[in-house]
C-alpha cells in the first residue's frame, strides 16, 4: 500500500494494483511502431498495466489467475475450460493507461503508473512466467512502443482484474 500525504498532512492510503483487461479472442494482432506485426489465434489478449508499488507476487498471482480462468466453452457450451485446457494462444500487451486516475478533472493522471525501470522487469517476468506454464507461445507487444491492437472478441468476453482484489 502506498501512502500519500495531503495538503493538510493527513495520511490517505491508496491501494496500488497490477491491472489487467482480459479479452477472449478468436484472433488478435499487434502492429509495433507501424512496422512489425505479431499475431495470435484463438485464446486471450491481456492488456497489462503496472503500478509503482507492484511486486513479483502480483505477477505470479495474476498469471495463475489468468491461465486458469474458466472462460472457454466445454463440449456442452458452458464456460468451464481454461486457457491451459484449450491450449489457446496468449497475447500480452503493456498498457500504462490502465493506471489512469480520472477522479478529478477531465485529463487522466498516470502518476500511479510504474516507471520503466520498475515496470519492464515485472512485464518481462509476467511474460516469462506465462510462457513457462503454457504449451503454446506467448505473443507480446513491445514495452513502451507505439502499438495498434486489432482483435476479434469472442463472445464478447472481457474481464478486468486487479491484483490487490484477491478476496
pLDDT over 60 at 5, yes or no: no
Question: pLDDT tens across 110-122, in order?
Answer: 988 999 999 999 9
Domains, the chain, with CATH or none: 17-162 (3.50.80.10)
Identified catalytic residue from 23, 72, 95, 126: 95
86-143, pLDDT tens digit by residue? Answer: 999 999 999 999 999 898 889 999 988 999 999 999 999 999 999 999 999 899 999 9
Residue 158 has pLDDT above 60, yes or no: yes
Give the chain as a DSSP string: -EEEE-TT--EEEE----EEEEEEEEEEEEEETTTEEEEE-SEEEEEEE-BTT--HHHHHHHHHHHHH---EE-TTS-EEE-HHHHT-EEEEEE-GGGG-B-SSSSS-B-TTBPPHHHHHHHHHHHHHHHHHH-SSPEEE--TTS-EEEEEEEEEEEEEEEETT---
Annotated catalytic residue 143: no
Task: Examine the residue annotation and report whether 136 is marked as an active-site residue of this protein.
Answer: no
Catalytic residue status for 95: yes
Give pLDDT tens digits for 48-89.
999 998 999 999 999 999 999 999 999 999 999 999 999 999
pLDDT band at 13 (very low <50, low <70, confident <90, very high): very low
Catalytic residue from among 2, 7, 29, 97: 97
Residue tagged active-site, from 7, 23, 72, 96? 96
Amino acid at each position: 500500500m502506498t501512502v500519500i500525504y495531503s495538503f493538510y498532512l493527513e495520511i490517505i492510503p491508496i491501494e496500488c494494483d497490477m491491472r489487467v483487461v482480459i479479452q477472449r479472442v478468436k484472433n488478435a494482432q499487434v502492429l509495433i511502431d507501424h512496422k512489425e506485426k505479431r499475431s495470435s489465434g484463438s485464446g486471450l489478449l491481456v492488456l497489462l498495466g503496472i503500478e509503482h508499488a507492484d511486486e513479483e507476487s502480483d505477477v505470479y498471482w495474476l498469471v495463475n489467475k489468468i491461465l486458469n480462468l474458466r472462460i472457454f466453452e466445454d463440449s456442452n457450451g458452458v464456460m468451464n475450460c481454461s486457457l491451459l485446457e484449450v491450449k489457446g494462444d496468449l497475447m500480452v500487451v503493456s498498457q500504462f493507461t490502465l493506471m489512469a486516475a480520472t477522479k478529478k478533472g477531465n485529463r487522466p493522471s498516470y502518476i500511479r503508473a510504474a516507471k520503466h525501470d520498475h515496470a519492464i522487469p515485472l512485464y518481462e517476468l509476467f511474460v516469462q512466467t506465462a510462457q513457462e506454464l503454457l504449451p503454446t507461445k506467448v505473443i507480446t507487444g513491445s514495452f513502451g512502443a507505439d502499438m495498434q491492437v486489432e482483435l476479434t472478441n469472442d463472445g464478447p468476453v472481457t474481464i478486468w482484474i486487479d491484483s490487490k482484489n484477491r478476496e
